[in-house]
Amino acid sequence: MSACGKAAAVAVRLFDAHCHLQDQRIFAVTPQIIRTAIDSGVLLFAVNGVSEKDWHIVKQMGEQYPSVIPCFGLHPWFVAERSPEWMRLLREFFAETPSAAVGEIGLDKGSHGRNIEFSQQVEVFRQQLELAKELERPVSIHCVRAFGDLLEIMQCIGPFPAGVILHSFMGSAEMVPAFTQLGSYFSFSGFLTSMKTEKAKKMLKSVSIERILFESDAPDAFPKSHVNSSSLLVDNSIALGHQSPEILATSAPNFPKEELNHPANIQIVLNYVAKMLDVSKERLAEASYQNAIHLFSYPGSKLHAEI
């Protein structure tokens, strides 16, 4: 009876196309986060590594959880910290993990990225983009205030038949066709809810429903201005390993905690985008789920045998 009730309550299925469940702010409660997400209808998770320091954790999570698709990449914020052997190590992780996709990689000229030499970002990004094409795997890309540079590099190296995920996309409507032509999908997170409404609506309407993905980008990208979102509040000291984290209710908004995101909150973004596009959330959820299944069903992946 209870099992039937739970199945009936989950009206849609979703795929978290980009998240960081290996992040130390939430890693200790990952089992609970995954259970909560699956109960809400979020069934699969593309967990993206960001540096040499966490690739082994992502690999272990892919082995431990059938629902986790591991992804390896060097994020632009960590370019300066890379070792001389970073590319060799990255290739080794892919050789040992045929189920893995590429990510998170990218370019960043924002408040954080401007402190990192852009020429180094470009060099590291190009190498990983070429690797993704060589391996015929989808690649998840971070881009902040560098969409012109990104498009130029992708046009030089692409197209990308295995697919490109423009994660937490907040670019302009005008750039959507050029990125689409190169094989891009557009993944939307809680960051979208902080975008100006008219700009967001125009951009969303420029994206084909066959190219839409949803993501949590957990533990970041908590949806803004949504009182019904289920927040994950974790004491800042948890990141330093001083105590065990706990999931806290949102009934104490003044509690001195850091507000973090988790995959079940994709439902909030789904509802937001469905309203913007004037389509049913059921249709949009299923379309995005099938888009993600298609992307992550490359040979060797966990999903390939299901096609």
Residue 252 belongs to some domain of the structure: no
Residue 304 belongs to some domain of the structure: no
The SS3 of residue 244 is coil
Q: Structure tokens of 252?
A: 């104490």
Distance CA 226, CA 223 (A): 7
What is the per-residue pLDDT for 227? 38
Residue 277 belongs to some domain of the structure: yes
Distance CA 72, CA 52 (A): 9
18 annotated as a binding-site residue? yes
Q: Is 285 exposed, middle or buried (0-12, 13-18, 19+ CB in 10 A)?
A: buried
Give the β-pairing of 68-72 and 101-108: parallel
What is the per-residue pLDDT for 242? 33
112 annotated as a binding-site residue? no
Residue 4 belongs to some domain of the structure: no
Which domain covers residue 65, as residue numbers?
Answer: 14-238+257-296
Q: Which of 186, 94, 204 is nearest to 143 (CA)?
A: 186
104 annotated as a binding-site residue? yes
Residue 290 belongs to some domain of the structure: yes
What is the per-residue pLDDT for 228? 52
Q: Which of 210, 87, 220, 31 is nearest to 144 (CA)?
A: 220
Distance CA 305, CA 307 (A): 6
Distance CA 250, CA 269 (A): 18
What is the per-residue pLDDT for 18? 98
Residue 102 belongs to some domain of the structure: yes
Distance CA 198, CA 60 (A): 42
Strand partners for 42: 14
Residue 193 belongs to some domain of the structure: yes
Q: What is the pTM (predicted TM-score) of this model?
A: 0.89
Give the β-pairing of 139-144 and 212-214: unpaired
Nearby residues of 258 by Cβ (< 8 Å), 6 or more positions away = 25, 233, 234, 235, 236
What is the per-residue pLDDT for 180? 98
The one-digit pLDDT tens for each residue of the chain (307 residues) are 334 444 445 579 999 999 999 999 999 999 999 999 999 999 999 999 999 999 999 999 999 999 999 999 999 999 999 999 999 999 999 999 999 999 999 999 999 899 999 999 999 999 999 999 999 999 999 999 999 999 999 999 999 999 999 999 999 999 999 999 999 999 999 999 999 999 999 999 999 999 999 999 999 999 985 435 555 544 333 332 333 334 433 323 333 355 899 999 999 999 999 999 999 999 999 999 999 999 999 999 999 765 5
Question: How many domains, in total, are found in the chain?
Answer: 1
CATH number for the domain that contains residue 234:
3.20.20.140
167 annotated as a binding-site residue? yes
294 annotated as a binding-site residue? no
20 annotated as a binding-site residue? yes
Residue 289 belongs to some domain of the structure: yes
What is the per-residue pLDDT for 236? 33
Q: Structure tokens of 15?
A: 């795929």
